[in-house]
Amino acid sequence: MMVDENSTGIWVIGEEKEGKLAPVTLELLTIGRQLADSLRQELVVVIIGHQLEHMSRLLVDYGPDKILLVAGEETRYFIPETYSEVLSALVEQRKPFAILFPATYDGRDVAARLAAKLGVGLAADCTDLKIDEAGRFVQVRPAFGGNLMAVIHQPTARPQLATLRPRMVKPNKSGRKVSPSVEYIKPRISAKPFTKSLLRTVREVAEESGNLDEAEVVIGVGRGIGSSENMRIVNHLATLLKAAIGGSRGVVDAGWLPHTQQIGLTGRVISPKMYMALGISGAVQHLVGVRTAKEIIAINKDPEAPIFKVATFGIVADMFSVIPLLAKELEPPAPQTT
């Protein structure tokens, strides 16, 4: 395969859902701006969806040179087969150097299909993306449950694709004074390539309990919680901390949390600022899911629980005695009556 040396531009594929921009898009733009600056190439953000007029003002501050909004009835709902076809047409036409996707359920799907369609490489679930001294695009990603980090290059094909895990960088306004150009594109689907349709979207996690990928604070619940009724006191604490709630395999298997909330080897890998483990013993299978958390707070009555070995702060105590005390500390003071 020949490398097209003329390929240029860092593309970021944003994620939009129900009219809202996923925060990971701004993280991708932040890292994309660094890559583009190192290479002296332009940074392009692509959003695919339905009604996207309000998108550009959410994106401008984060440094894109160009905003491509692909909006139409055909791309109203996320269908990876359609989205990858739209992107493939754009890529063939404009030949970018690299394309960054969020490592979300949707991002991984569309990136994989696009890579296969174009016959190019894709580094999945990266934790860092950079340009080396030789001007090569370098992708760093964990494997083997985070036991190993691999440094990846894609020397033989363009564009080079990568998905980036959420919360790897802080969204950073670029401070650039140049305003980006905005281009509207109608999606062009060659024919209806597949018979596939989205029938319904169902939310299983309460709106206020947030997204495990996006939340600054995640509370992890272990089997010690004992029943789904007891989840109520955790919910209360989560509200006070603006935390998302996840759990161990045991809690999910018991049906006390939906499967989407399982953290660990057979669940999700998260990188919150703080992970608060309540009654979590800390088996390896669970810990691989929280290794990149900045702080780990452990509350467990068993002083020998392995979670204490990785905790930045811990209390050896029954979570049922700690949670109410902590909640009381965090509750806003009752209004003063005079």
Q: Which of residues 101-130 bind other proteins (CB under 8 A)?
A: 104-106, 108-109, 111-113, 115-117, 119-125
For position 152 contacting other proteins by CB under 8 A, the verdict is yes
Residue 5 token pair: 């040396």
For position 19 contacting other proteins by CB under 8 A, the verdict is no
Of 4-12, 33-41, 49-57, 265-273: span binding other proteins (CB under 8 A):
265-273
Which of 57, 92, 156, 183 binds other proteins (CB under 8 A)? It is 156
Least distance between other proteins and beta carbon 183 (Å): 27
For position 145 contacting other proteins by CB under 8 A, the verdict is yes
In whole angstroms, what is the distance from residue 269 CA to residue 264 CA?
A: 6
Closest to 326 (Cα-Cα) out of 257, 287, 278, 261: 278
Which of 6, 200, 229, 304 binds other proteins (CB under 8 A)? It is 200
Sequence-separated contacts (24+) of 125-130 with Cβ below 8 Å:
125/163, 125/165, 125/269, 126/162, 126/163, 126/164, 126/165, 126/168, 127/164, 127/165, 127/168, 127/292, 128/168, 129/31, 129/35, 129/100, 129/162, 129/164, 130/34, 130/35, 130/38
Residue 197 token pair: 């349709």
Q: Hey, which residues between 230 and 249 contact other proteins (CB under 8 A)?
A: 240-242
For position 190 contacting other proteins by CB under 8 A, the verdict is no
Least distance between other proteins and beta carbon 7 (Å): 14
Closest to 34 (Cα-Cα) out of 12, 56, 67, 15: 12
Asked if 300 and 308 count as a contact pair (C-beta separation under 8 A), the reply is yes
Q: Hey, which residues between 285 and 314 contact other proteins (CB under 8 A)?
A: 285, 288, 291, 295-298, 301, 303, 308-314
Which C-beta is closer to other proteins: that of 329 or that of 338?
329
Of 27-35, 63-71, 99-107, 225-233: span binding other proteins (CB under 8 A):
99-107
Which of 5, 198, 334, 336 binds other proteins (CB under 8 A)? It is 198
For position 42 contacting other proteins by CB under 8 A, the verdict is no
Residue 196 token pair: 């596939």
